[in-house]
Amino acid sequence: MKRILKLLGVLITLILIAAIIINFRGIPSYEVVAIDHQVVSTPEQIQKGKKVVATLCAGCHMNQETGKLTGKLMSDVPKEFGVVYSPNITQDKEYGIGEWTDSELILLLRTGIKRDGKYAPPYMAKLPNMADSDIDAIISFLKSDNQLVNADATPDKACEPSFLTKFLCTVAFKPLPLPLTKLNIPDTADAIKYGRYLAHNYDCFSCHSADFKTVDFLHPTKSDGYFGGGNKPLNQSGQVIVTANLTPDNETGIGQWSKDEFIAAVKYGTKKDEQALRYPMIPYTLLTDYEVSCIYDYLQTIPPISNNIQRTYYD
């Protein structure tokens, strides 16, 4: 018995030491790898980048007071992760990304590793499968003369990650690998393949699968409850909004939705007799009807999941 108690005491001591180290060290750091690639901007790339950034990034980085991507308090991040502010991603050299190289931006977007080596926690979406040309388009827009990204010296506010965030970033959430080969956009004439690309790279799957904790950004189809809904993001008041089942299940998913109904819901937030979308899902007005129809076509091919989601309503 004494030996068991002694071993137990040693184990508890080691756990306490590990917890203290994790808490004081904070978010882990990793090697900053140089990527030999220079983005060559074109008007077409900048326009495409504007669309991707507005759809994928602006929801977190848009500050209503400055009217630019200067970051804000992320009130919809669960409290157990701490206090989270999105950073300033305008071209300001002190507080924004004005001094960031193309290589540093690519590394962050692909892997989640910042220029100082710190890992960006999981509430920042990573883009390991996005086509090289779309990554270039994002960077082209961020370095353009668009008013959303013009230099603005609004200081970043330091995040206050909880112990849970520090722990998860130590043992579970790791940087994603850089692609080993060139990534291309699928043939846009192939509606299903193109729809799959859009559904993954516009981050639809992470909200509409079962749980953020089991989302697989590298292999989206391996996410638990892939597109079956039931995840629990928060609205701006911190209230839970359960996500919808987007599999082709006839009873609980979108198996009986028409393509036109799906387009109306995704692009304009309209649905017969009720509001289709609620924050954090906002209308994807910059997507074309064809792009949304491709997403619909792809969703019709995935395995149906019977998951009856009860919508939550707040006054």
On whether the CB atoms of residues 88 and 71 are closer than 8 A, the answer is: yes
pLDDT value for 2? 67
CA–CA gap between residue 43 and residue 46 (Å, rounded): 5
Q: Is 58 exposed, middle or buried (0-12, 13-18, 19+ CB in 10 A)?
A: middle
Classified as helix, coil or strand, 137 is: helix
CA–CA gap between residue 160 and residue 163 (Å, rounded): 10
Length of the chain: 315
pLDDT value for 315? 56
173: Cβ contacts below 8 Å, ≥ 6 apart: 119, 121, 122
Domain 43-171 classified CATH 1.10.760?
Answer: yes
Residue ranges for the chain with pLDDT beneath 70:
1-2, 5-6, 9-10, 273, 313-315
CA–CA gap between residue 286 and residue 51 (Å, rounded): 6
Side-chain-facing half-sphere of 297: CA atoms under 13 Å: 17
**What are 282's two structure tokens?**
């906002």
pLDDT value for 1? 66
Residue 173: count of CB within 10 angstroms of its CB? 20
Q: Is 67 exposed, middle or buried (0-12, 13-18, 19+ CB in 10 A)?
A: exposed
Classified as helix, coil or strand, 21 is: helix
pLDDT value for 5? 65
CA–CA gap between residue 65 and residue 95 (Å, rounded): 16
**What are 289's two structure tokens?**
């009807």
Q: How far apart are the first and last CA of the chain?
A: 59
Q: Select the CATH number that applies to the domain covering 191-299 from these four: 1.10.3210, 1.10.760, 1.10.1060, 3.30.110.
A: 1.10.760
Q: Where are the domains of the chain?
A: 43-171, 191-299
